[in-house]
Structure 1
Amino acid sequence: MKPLTINEINQIVHGEFIEGPVNWQVSHAILYGLHRLKWSHTLIFSERNINWHNLKNFQPCAVVTDLPADQIVPIEGITFIKVNHVMESYWKFVQYYRSLFDIPVIAVTGTCGKTTIKEMIKHILRVDRIVQATDGNWNLPVWSFGYLQNIDESTQAAVFETAITHPGHLTRHCRYLEPTIGVFTNIGIDHLDTCGSLEGYIQAKAELVKGLRKNGTLILNGDDENIKKIALDEFKGRVVYYSVSSSSPFQATEIHYAEMGMTFVLNHQGRQYHAFVPGYGDHQVYNALGAISACYELGVGVETSIKRLSTFKNFTRHLELMSGLNDCTILDDTWNTNPTSLNSALQVLHSIGKGKKNVALLGDMMALGEFADEVHRQVAELIIETKLDVLITIGEKAREIGKEAIRLNFGGKVYMYDDSFEGVREMLEELLDQNTILLIKGSLYNPHFSNFAQGLRSNKN
């Protein structure tokens, strides 16, 4: 965070000094109750009574409060600033701090691919500029205030994932970050438990359109049917599309699987660029297109982005290929699971598993609410289409996939387990061999899946 003096803080929040020293600078800021107090020199916005004595461990710090003066406990080294409404003062501070930096800020949203596109953009830009970005996939609004504070005078660009679990989350992200560019990856079925329906989820994602800074730029997946449902009538900025199956300013053609990645031809402004992106699947080509499109808006040429992207390293557990039990091949995709990412994973398994025995071990998909059973049953159609040899389900909801596959006359073997992995390894020891590819697809909220995948790795990796 760019340091600010206590006098500057007081002017920003339109406050009144009540108590404490004023000759020091603030280096951190938190909303008490939402963020943890971890450092001295912290500005604390508090709507409630604080553990006053705990503040002694973090002096100097400053408390912005709207409590009556007689409820404030004077503490040595603690500055108190009285305001009329804490939350109004908090957002004044947020707005002021963001206004200090005239830099491009990219917000990435969608059902799948947020982390990958964000990492690709960061990978491309960090060659020659200082970039702030989301840490891993810590991408909910609660962390956006911290990411905003990571921006300082040295920052030249920023790229953040903007995820949601509830309607209103993207609006909150944007209130902190004021993105100048918004990237949509895709919109599939997810968070139906809190958004109520697919339409509600689409509208929750569409909040990014209104949240962009005036005259901002939207970068959209032109092939995604649900993104097409987002109303753009009132959007006054630029709209840029990327695509595979339809014509767009950034269109990929001639897509092929290659060693450890995908090759494609990028068609842009009448020119063709031959490209390679590490990581398997058509979805990875879409990720590359989204990243290249965003970086182009920041002045990075297409050829330069393609060259830099060729050295990109995927996150672990994103269709991570490794040697496994009995010399089989494992596709570890235990980062997260929903119908969109599961479809992509099954397509990759089908493509690289030609001539081999294809096995999929699938877990429950989360955040589907009352639609959970129906959505899991729908997944069985994907199983039929990709012609698996063996389907293994683990979990009560995932069992619906297995039951529906059997009802649809799935030609392969089906094994269904409850929430335990008990007996699964023993079954796999009989099933797996060097001519087998095993896809393991589970949720990051169920660490048993990633632990199980790691336990199947061979020493060759």
Structure 2
Amino acid sequence: MELTFKELVKAIDGEVLLKNKKIFNNICTDTRKIVKDNIFLALKGDNFNGNKYVKDALEKGASIAIVDEVCFEPVEVKGTVIKVDNTYDALLSLAKYYREKLGVKVVGITGSTGKTSTKDLVAAFLSERYKVFKTKGNFNNHIGLPLMILSLDSSIEVAVLELGMSNLGEIHTLADCARPDIALITNIGLSHIENLKTRENILKAKLEITDFFNSDNKLIVNSEDEYLKNLSRENYELIKTGYGEGNKFFAKDIVLGESTTSFKLRDGDYEHEFTLPMVGAHNVLNALLGIAAAKTLGVTYDEMERGLKNIEATSMRLEFIKVNGFTVINDCYNASPDSMNAALDVLKNYKGKRKIAVLGTMRELGDESKEAHRAVGEYANDKADILVTTGEYVEDYKLGFNCGKFKNYSSKEEMINEIRTFIKKDDVILVKASRGAKFEDVVAKLKE
């Protein structure tokens, strides 16, 4: 972090209880990962209290500890201790202060699905002209997002940040911290409907990314989404992308390959052909959002095309693994109805003898869960020869899937023990479930 000690204290409105060291580098919230001169931020949850580990953190090399509860005797510690009202709030305030000090351009991305793939594409499109930072993994919540901002330095010109949420008000908080110059919304699906109850509320929550917008800001949306296509301009510029000519940027002549996806981009009368190093028609929509963002930041189409060579895709997102004479499509990072259908489309289009879909539970769907799993099973009918499932919605998958062989297991462990027994040469196996199901364990077994 490029901050002085004085700026640090000011940004978090802290009270210096002990002042021994004023040299610091990065924030750390886990004493197991402390390195010399870190700031240890003591977070507190239902089952843990970081304030109790201040002495340990300072002994391991941290120079400063930020606490909201004093659980030590002053004579026990040798570093600097700063007290705040709430360490979570302090983290957000510090990141907001730092983002404003750096003055970096921020592209914020939210949506029910496709955030990470869109983030990867945006970063690639920008990479030929700018030095770009992008959110690592799924660091997109009230802890992860500020930690990403605080890992920036003055050499970064554009930060591409994911903003995630599970309820109303959360993106508002993140948007206040990140203050995106440009915001992208991928779609409005069923993810988190368990908390938000309706897709209208999901739309409302996603639009919180514009809560601090003015006439200088731009919102870019996927107009193929039924909830985004009818958005009207507010106090900021609204840019729509999609397949139709009514969009500012639109795609035509899409060609789906086994390892690439090509399309022609139209921007008014101008046309440019792109070939994405990723599969699936859904990635065309993600790419259009990224192209619009890059164009807004002055990147040429030739630069965008060259930038695609720099793409660094997040792991477990449509990762193709050829092993033991068959192909595994590893898409274990997360799952929702929309992303399940998109992955099944990829399975259908991939060359192979038998198509096998290994699908687990989609979480956080609330009252929509049973119908959503049945619908995915139905969607799989002309995409998979065999549907393999486990989890609490096995019967709903089965209800929808009736055009192929259905195999279900009482547990993931039972599935792992038996899955290799029916896999044959030249099979293509899609493995996908919500993150908590940890279906990467299934992939690991297939790779043995």
TM category, shorter: 0.7 to 0.9
> 1:440 maps to which residue?
431
> 2:141 maps to which residue?
140
1:221-264, CA deviations, whole angstroms, 9 ceiling, x for partnerless residues?
A: 111112236x656x312111221245322211000123510111
Note if contact 1:216-1:237 (Cα within 8 Å) is conserved in structure 2. Answer: yes
Counterpart-to-counterpart distance in 1, 2:360 and 2:43: 42
Counterpart-to-counterpart distance in 2, 1:441 and 1:14: 45
Counterpart-to-counterpart distance in 1, 2:183 and 2:168: 18
Q: Give the alignment of 1:162-181 within 5 angstroms.
A: 162-181=163-182
Counterpart-to-counterpart distance in 2, 1:85 and 1:345: 42
Q: Give the alignment of 1:30-41 within 5 angstroms.
A: 40=37
1:424-461, CA deviations, whole angstroms, 9 ceiling, x for partnerless residues?
A: 66566446343x332222233222x2222233248xxx
> 1:350 maps to which residue?
348
- Report which of the two structures shows the higher radius of gyration computed on alpha carbons: 1
Are residues 457 and 44 of structure 1, via their aligned partners in 2, closer, same or farther at CA, if it must alter by over 3 Å? closer
Q: Give the alignment of 1:36-435 within 5 angstroms.
A: 40=37, 42=39, 50-51=51-52, 53-54=55-56, 56-57=58-59, 58=61, 60-61=63-64, 63=66, 73=74, 77-79=78-80, 93-212=94-213, 215-228=216-229, 232=232, 235-310=234-309, 312-325=311-324, 327-353=325-351, 356-384=353-381, 386=382, 388-405=384-401, 410-422=402-414, 426=418, 429-430=421-422, 432-434=424-426
Are residues 306 and 396 of structure 1, via their aligned partners in 2, closer, same or farther at CA, if it must alter by over 3 Å? same
Tell me which amino acid in the other structure corresponds to 1:444. Answer: R
Q: Structure 1 residue 451 and structure 2 residue 447: aligned?
A: no
Q: Percent identity?
A: 25
Q: CA deviation at 1:387?
A: 5.1
Q: CA deviation at 1:400?
A: 1.3
Counterpart-to-counterpart distance in 2, 1:63 and 1:258: 52
Counterpart-to-counterpart distance in 2, 1:202 and 1:144: 21
1:183-226, CA deviations, whole angstroms, 9 ceiling, x for partnerless residues?
A: 11122111122223333322222211214466211111111112
Are residues 144 and 356 of structure 1, via their aligned partners in 2, closer, same or farther at CA, if it must alter by over 3 Å? same
Are residues 426 and 272 of structure 1, via their aligned partners in 2, closer, same or farther at CA, if it must alter by over 3 Å? same
Give the number of aligned pairs: 442
Counterpart-to-counterpart distance in 2, 1:55 and 1:333: 37
TM-score, normalised relative to structure 2: 0.85
**Structure 1, unaligned runs of 5 or more:** none
Are residues 25 and 395 of structure 1, via their aligned partners in 2, closer, same or farther at CA, if it must alter by over 3 Å? same
Q: CA deviation at 1:172?
A: 2.1
Are residues 152 and 433 of structure 1, via their aligned partners in 2, closer, same or farther at CA, if it must alter by over 3 Å? closer
Note if contact 2:108-2:183 (Cα within 8 Å) is conserved in structure 1. Answer: yes
Counterpart-to-counterpart distance in 2, 1:46 and 1:443: 27
Q: CA deviation at 1:344?
A: 0.6
**Structure 2, unaligned runs of 5 or more:** none
Tell me which amino acid in the other structure corresponds to 2:369. Answer: A
Tell me which amino acid in the other structure corresponds to 1:243. Answer: G
Tell me which amino acid in the other structure corresponds to 1:452. Answer: V
Note if contact 2:95-2:150 (Cα within 8 Å) is conserved in structure 1. Answer: no
TM-score, normalised relative to structure 1: 0.83
Q: CA RMSD in A?
A: 3.4
Counterpart-to-counterpart distance in 1, 2:202 and 2:265: 31
Note if contact 1:140-1:162 (Cα within 8 Å) is conserved in structure 2. Answer: yes
Are residues 418 and 59 of structure 1, via their aligned partners in 2, closer, same or farther at CA, if it must alter by over 3 Å? closer
